[in-house]
Every structure is written in C-alpha cells, then in structure tokens.
Structure 1
C-alpha cells in the first residue's frame, strides 16, 4: 500500500529494454558480453531484497520502503513514507 506521492518513486520492473539501440542488456553494440560471469563483473549486482528492514517487524523489505506490506496494511499507512492512507479502525483484523 503506497500513497499517490510515493507511487512515482516505485522502481521499474526488470525486463529487457524495448529498443536494442543503446540498450545495456543486448549483445549488439558493446552492451552485454557473451558468456560473461555476472559474479565477477565489475558492475554492481542487483539484489531483489536489499538490506532495508521493516521498522515494526524487522522483516526484509523490497524497494525503498520503511514498512513491509503486511504491517503497512494493518496500520493503514504508506509503506514508503508512513503517511496515513486508510482508516482501519472499523476493520476486523487479527493480531497475528
């Protein structure tokens, strides 16, 4: 759950670039090398789950969020900035 302001900050999905010209993930035009070992290359590796953790439950969080998805929904707050998005006072939720 993310507010409208933080929706613009969401990172993009990892898919091949649409256009081959100037794309970094194609073998043509000096992009990716054939049989390149990604562990040994000098580029920074992409990690799906970074080192950020949820403030409430200390679970690892994806993207640039402060709260995990379940904690954000339970509290009714934006996962990235913590702003109140939803009124959960009339919701019947479990404590687990």
Structure 2
C-alpha cells in the first residue's frame, strides 16, 4: 500500500515497448540488433527483485520501497515513504 503521492513513483509494467521509432525492440534507429546475444551485450539489465530490502523483516522488496507489503499493511504506513496512511489501532492482526 502506498500513499497518493508515491503512486506516481511506482515501477513500470513489464511489457515490451510499443512499436514506434526509437523503441528498444525495433531494428531501425539504433534499437535491437538481429541475432544479438543479450548476455554478452547487456548494458543495464533490469532485475525485478533488486537489492532493496524491508527495514523491518529484511525481506526483498520489488519496488524502491522501505517496507514490504506485509509490514506496511500491519503498521499502516506507505511502503515507499513511511508516511502514516491507515489507522490500524482497532485491527485484529497476528504474525502467524
């Protein structure tokens, strides 16, 4: 769960670029080369689970966030900035 301000910072969806000039999946305009070995010619590979970890449980996070989804919901804070979003005072929660 993220606040309204951090919704704009969310990661992009993993889909190929639209077919347009200058897209990375086209062959013209300096895009993808034909029969290119991606392991040898990697520039900056995108990793879905980067090196970001939750500050509470040390679990890997898939966004540029401070908290994982479970910890953010249980604390009622925004996963990215840590701002209080939800009042969990009267919630019945357990760590089981």
TM-score w.r.t. structure 1 length?
Answer: 0.90
Gaps of 5+ in 2: none
Asked if the contact 2:26–2:32 (Cα under 8 Å) also holds between the matched residues in 1, the reply is yes
Contact 1:65 1:80 in 2 (8 A): yes
Give the Å deviation of 1:47.
Answer: 0.5
Aligned 8 A contact 2:49 2:61 in 1: yes
Aligned length: 96
* Alignment partners' CA distance in 1, 2:14 and 2:29: 21
State the superposition RMSD in angstroms.
1.3
After superposing on structure 2, the runs of 4+ consecutive aligned residues of structure 1 that deviate more than 6 Å are: none
After TM superposition, the structure 1 stretch with the greater mean CA deviation from structure 2, 34-43 or 65-74, is 34-43
Deviates more, 1:35-44 or 1:59-68: 35-44
1:12 to partner: Cα distance: 1.0
Q: Please list, as runs of the form range in 1=range in 2, the aligned pairs for 1:34-73 lying within 5 A after superposition.
A: 34-73=34-73
Q: CA deviation at 1:27?
A: 2.6
SS in 1 for 2:63: coil
Per-residue CA shift, 1:46-95, capped at 9, x if unaligned?
10100010000000011210100110011110000000000111111112
* TM-score in terms of structure 2 length: 0.90
How many Å apart are 1:35 and its aligned residue? 2.4
Kindly indicate whether the alpha-carbon contact (under 8 Å) linking 1:38 and 1:45 is maintained by their aligned counterparts in 2: no
> Residue 94 of structure 1: SS of its match in structure 2?
coil
